[in-house]
Chains A and B, each alone.
Chain A
Amino acid sequence: EAGVAQSPRYKIIEKRQSVAFWCNPISGHATLYWYQQILGQGPKLLIQFQNNGVVDDSQLPKDRFSAERLKGVDSTLKIQPAKLEDSAVYLCASSRTTGGIDGYTFGSGTRLTVV
């Protein structure tokens, strides 16, 4: 089966600019996750979708971050305006069941640098 697709692979922007990332999960996976991984740390969950509904967005900085999953398939994550501390790798993952009890599959990530 095809993996989780993410784009772009790399992005460099200036602070206060906006940026968007795209993710296409594995076909048939109902649950989609966006994680933020800061250098030297483990991934931190930003938002979790079950089909096109939000299950958990408790750690999403909603004043600047937004995400949507229209039609319950692919998803976009947006940052507006970006701050220096948003520099990180943004990982998308999908799983067949809620909570990833059957295991996750991760995309290759988008490495964001804010200068």
Chain B
Amino acid sequence: GIQVEQSPPDLILQEGANSTLRCNFSDSVNNLQWFHQNPWGQLINLFYIPSGTKQNGRLSATTVATERYSLLYISSSQTTDSGVYFCAVNSGGFKTIFGAGTRLFVKA
């Protein structure tokens, strides 16, 4: 089945810094989503982005489907950005596969 790898596994930022999270996948995908899991465990859908670029406030995402990767950009990070960021892909079957996540901690 499709493999999903996220990097880095852990990231510590000073408030105000920018960061880039990466998601590599091993096969073509029909769907790619980025989620944020807050410290209380709630998973929030950030982007549905099988290809192209999208922006939402301080967050943006780019998926290059032909090269099998996606990037999530966080600008001017805030302490509320802390949590785990997951990439999840669907390769055309019924199942969506999650990566292991990037754990982000933003220091005040």
A→B interface (CB under 8 Å): 41-45, 48, 55-56, 89, 91, 93, 98-106, 108-109, 111
Contact = CB atoms under 8 A, between A and B. Distances in A.
A55 to B, nearest CB: 5
Contact of B43 (A41, A102, A106): A106
B101 A42 contact: yes
A89 B39 CA distance: 13
Given A99-B90, A104-B88, 19 more contacts: A42-B99, A45-B97, A48-B95, A55-B94, A56-B94, A56-B95, A99-B30, A99-B95, A100-B31, A100-B90, A101-B31, A102-B48, A103-B33, A104-B33, A105-B45, A106-B42, A106-B43, A106-B44, A111-B41
A103 B33 CA distance: 7
A101 B90 contact: yes
Nearest to B9: A40
B101 to A, nearest CB: 5
B57 interface: no
Contacts of A91: 43
The number of chain B residues touching the other chain, given as a range, is 20 to 34
B95 A108 contact: no
Given A99-B90, A101-B31, A108 B96 contact: no
Interface of B: 30-31, 33, 35, 40-45, 48, 86, 88, 90, 92-101
Given A42-B101, A99-B30, A99-B31, A104 B94 contact: no
Contacts of B96: 45, 99-100, 104
B2 to A, nearest CB: 13
Contacts of B43: 43, 91, 93, 106
Indicate the member of B31, B44, B96, B100 with the most A CB atoms within 10 Å.
B96
B30 A101 contact: yes
B98 A43 contact: yes
A50 to B, nearest CB: 8
Given A89-B41, A103-B33, A108-B42, A42 B90 contact: no
